[in-house]
Amino acid sequence: MRSFGIYPDHTMFPFVLKACVFLKNLRLGESIHGCIIRLGLDFDLFTGNALLNMYAKFQSLQLNGGCKVSAFNVFDGMPKSVIRLDSVPKVLEMMPERDVVSYNTVIAGNAQNGMYEEALRMVREMGNANMKPDSFTLSSVLPIFAEYVDVMKGKEIHGYAIRHLFDSDCYIGSSLIDMYANCARIEDSCHVFNLLPTRDDISWNSIIAACVQNGVFDEGLKLFRLMLTARVKPRDVTFSSIMPACAYLTTLHLGKQLHGYIIRGGFDDNLFIASSLIDMYAKCGNIRAARWIFDQMEHHDMVSWTAIIMGHALHGHAHDALSLFKQMEKDGVKPNYVSFIAVFTACSHAGLTDKAWRFFNSMSQNHGIKPGLEHYAAMADLLGRAGKLNEAYEFISSMHFAPSGSIWSTLLSACRVHKNLELAEKVAKEIFKVDPENVGAYVLMSNMYAASRRWKEAAKMRIFMKKKGIRKEPACSWIEVKNSVHTFISGDKSHPLYDGIFQALKDLLEQIEREGYIPDTNEDFHDVDEEQKKYLLFSHSERLALAFGIISTPAGTTIRITKNIRVCVDCHTAIKLISKVVQREIIVRDNSRFHHFKDGVCSCRDYW
């Protein structure tokens, strides 16, 4: 057009600048900017707004590469390479007039670059200039209050939206869903979603992510199915949002189905999705598949490294976990807060206390990460498991913040494993001081008293619980057979195939007794005779699930069971022998790790 000698007018540049944004070509954009100035069109409002938008977008690109330098208001202190990007405030200052769009563009630019206070300042300035926030403004501001976890301010915006009839706006809808979800107000998220007159893929993604992030996994999965029924196409974000639900519920068949979708949709090179797949396979007991995905990836970021390290840690592969951590550092990927939790978990499941101490010290010294509650908890857990109970006690007492009930609880369960009632009493006192309703502590103390035949004190604990009206969650195991999940609680006879299960349990008992199995009744704390105890052990939830798995799958199939609390010692012994007599691999995930039983031995080498 220009070669024909035709001059562009003010209507043209917004489109040309937009093309530069799509092409991610800053140099081209800058030369167009030059062209605009030469033609004297930089005083045009629409052209100015398009320039603002372009520079703001390139600012995001630059910042996503690492440094979070404020390019909007800092000029002097900026590194040379970023100086060109300072053009947003310059363009803004030069503009002869500004409208709502100018402000919205700058507000969004600041908000997307993490400069929340500057964004909010611009909102006030906009008000001072007699311009009212519109739906664009609100959907840029809401994510700020989501990030701040400030539900009061978020609600204020929601109210403003309702008063100005913006609440049926799809964009504001997703921001509201996300804001409420971030503030743990999942009911409010659902309420907003249900009231939306129109929903696009992002509204669906927002509500699904909201459910999963708040632990409402069944609802998340239900909404995912509804999304498919509504013929809304799932996107990359959908998969990385829903996958953690499969990981948490150990629904391997669903995870695999989603993996199929992901491959067919061509999403398998997405970093977020790959990390969520690694986590899902690891948590569903298939660490080999998790590792395969990790090894297939072209680039690894900190999250994917952390996910695979945690995966190996949970499966008791401390050596793999730690050598991966070394490799990660060698690759120049910086570990974060979560990565160290994974490292401590690895050390914990292998009893590597010395190594853990070295990591703990290097975490703050070499990586500048201040140990948080989770790190202290992991270290305390590790020391406790290794039997270093007093060291753990000292460690917890020396924390630079007040210990929580949960951190003392890790030590209490270590006292149970190592049968130290004296320290347990001391620890329990600390727990009841900060958390008088801690169910686990009452149950553990009651069991420990019972184990030392101090029935009166055991009963006292139970009575305390009753008085306070707190109940422990029943022990529960589940297993997936033919794409459906079967749940068992201890002593449960309600399964339709119970007769077969009972017969199988009896047969298995006979077979393992021939292998030398002697019931270990030490951990059963009912004041009843030995024969009855044997029966109680016999009907533990993991045994029921296992017996059901054996009779309902073909010979040789790997059996995967999930349990909500720690596997009991007797069941651990029994399952080892069962894996030998039925010649099957049995994988049990309890609340802290995986046990791979095969040929009479367990991967945890009886340390868990």
Partner DNA sequence: GTAGGGTTAG
Q: How far is the CB of 116 from DNA (least distance, A)?
A: 12
By beta-carbon proximity to DNA, the closer residue of 490 and 592 is 592
CA dihedral angle for residue 214, residue 306, residue 205, residue 111, rounded to 10 degrees: 90
What the block records as the tokens of 133 is 């926030």
Calculate ∠ Cα 103-105-110, nearest 5°.
Answer: 95
By beta-carbon proximity to DNA, the closer residue of 71 and 247 is 247
By beta-carbon proximity to DNA, the closer residue of 252 and 341 is 341
Q: How far is the CB of 367 from DNA (least distance, A)?
A: 14
Q: How far is the CB of 101 from DNA (least distance, A)?
A: 3
Q: How far is the CB of 484 from DNA (least distance, A)?
A: 24
Task: State the pairing for strand pair 476-481/601-602.
Answer: unpaired
Calculate ∠ Cα 6-8-10, nearest 5°.
Answer: 150
How far apart are the C-alpha atoms of 275 and 267, rounded to whole Å? Answer: 12
Residues 521 and 537: beta-carbon distance below 8 Å: yes
By beta-carbon proximity to DNA, the closer residue of 511 and 564 is 564
Q: How far is the CB of 489 from DNA (least distance, A)?
A: 19
Give the residue ranges of DSSP H helices in 214-301: 217-229, 236-249, 252-264, 271-283, 287-296
Q: How far is the CB of 216 from DNA (least distance, A)?
A: 13
Instruction: Please state, in angstroms and as integers, the Cα–Cα distance from residue 351 to each residue in 84, 345, 380, 424, following that order.
Output: 54, 10, 12, 21
By beta-carbon proximity to DNA, the closer residue of 434 and 581 is 434
Q: How far is the CB of 582 from DNA (least distance, A)?
A: 30
By beta-carbon proximity to DNA, the closer residue of 108 and 392 is 108
Q: Which residue has the tokens 């696009």?
A: 200
| CB-neighbour burial class of residue 268 (10 A; exposed 0-12, middle 13-18, buried 19+) | middle
What the block records as the tokens of 89 is 């405030």
By beta-carbon proximity to DNA, the closer residue of 388 and 580 is 388
What the block records as the tokens of 433 is 């001081």
How far apart are the C-alpha atoms of 409 and 338, rounded to whole Å? Answer: 21
Calculate ∠ Cα 338-340-343, nearest 5°.
Answer: 120
By beta-carbon proximity to DNA, the closer residue of 251 and 579 is 251
By beta-carbon proximity to DNA, the closer residue of 210 and 559 is 210
By beta-carbon proximity to DNA, the closer residue of 452 and 591 is 591
In the sheet with 586-589, reading across from the earlier edge strand, the strands are 484-489, 476-481, 559-563, 586-589, 594-598, 601-602
How far apart are the C-alpha atoms of 72 and 109, rounded to whole Å? Answer: 9
Calculate ∠ Cα 541-542-546, nearest 5°.
Answer: 120
- The count of other CB atoms within 10 Å of the CB of residue 575 is 24
Q: How far is the CB of 461 from DNA (least distance, A)?
A: 20
Q: How far is the CB of 138 from DNA (least distance, A)?
A: 7
Q: How far is the CB of 410 from DNA (least distance, A)?
A: 5
